[in-house]
Structure 1
Amino acid sequence: MTSESVRPTTGPARRTVIAAAGAAGLAVALTACGDDDDKAKPVGSAGTVLGRTSEVPEGGGKVFGDAGVVVTQPTAGEFKAFSAKCTHQGCAVKDIANDVISCPCHGSEFSATDGSVKKGPATQPLPAEKITVEGDTITLT
């Protein structure tokens, strides 16, 4: 018979405990950094009532943050909708005035008429969203 040294195993190995603690700390750090209110939310689902036409000024627009959509009114009675997520780094667009949709994070500007880039750093237009206007109600379709 050979005599071997046997260690009793009463719990996880030291390496396992250290690795788990490190992973937990990293998860907490990533979670804290990942929740940024300036980031646009995903686009709402079809059938979502966004709001009233009276909320969207002519030559301007309104961001419907819960749905991740910006609705503009380039000319009286003409309503357009785009993703509220800037194509540069995903921040939520905020201001719409004088036919321009502006992103506060890095200064990108988009056309309120067709979503095209008017000023970078963004290089891609805002994706169009489908809406219907019935009476004074704007609905995502």
Structure 2
Amino acid sequence: MSSSGRELSRRAFVGGVCAAGCLAVAGCAGSSESEPKRSGPLQVPVGDVPVGGGVVLRADQVVVTQPEPGVFHAFSAVCTHDGCLVSSIDKGLIVCRCHGSAFSVDDGSVVRSPAQKPLPTRVVQQTGDTLTITT
């Protein structure tokens, strides 16, 4: 086999590995982004949202928080840095595992970069034991 034949094979191999890696990263970072989103308002039981924390609703791309008893906020779960979905809520922070950005559970503001913009807010209303979020 000539050297040009091997070089072409190497290029094909490296290109294939890079493509597979990109697909793997995209799949890990946003696998739920391909899930169908609900149409209309989202309803969440108040009891599903812990005080001092919150819940990430990946399929709906929404984060619902309760920083203090009876106070609820809702935000987009799409990180403003690179479009990954945030992964968890830990010690009063909404955390994105992709690059380490963190946002406040109180107002969605950036607490830790690389994100530069806050999470967009969503309208949340409480009726009895149910929260209704308009996305």
Same topology, TM > 0.5: yes
Q: What does residue 41 of structure 1 align with?
A: 33
Which 5+ residue runs of structure 2 have no aligned equivalent?
1-18
- Shift, 1:111, TM fit: 0.5
3-state DSSP of counterpart to 1:66: helix
3-state DSSP of counterpart to 1:54: helix
Match of 2:77 among 66, 75, 84: 84
Runs of 4+ aligned structure 1 residues displaced above 3 Å come to: 40-46
Which 5+ residue runs of structure 1 have no aligned equivalent?
1-28
Count of paired positions: 112
- Which structure has greater helix proportion? 2
**Would the alpha carbon gap of residues 74 and 104 (structure 1) be closer, same or farther in structure 2, given more than 3 Å must change?**
same
Q: What does residue 124 of structure 1 align with?
A: 117
Tell me how large the CA RMSD over aligned residues is.
2.3
Match of 2:59 among 53, 62, 66: 66
Using structure 2 for the length normalisation, give the TM-score.
0.73
- Which structure has greater strand proportion? 2
Write the deviation string for residues 65-110 of structure 1: whole angstroms up to 9, x where unpaired. Answer: 1211000001100000000000011111111122210001110000
3-state DSSP of counterpart to 2:27: coil
Using structure 1 for the length normalisation, give the TM-score.
0.70
Answer with 1 or 2: which has the greater Rg.
Answer: 1
Amino acid at match of 2:131: I
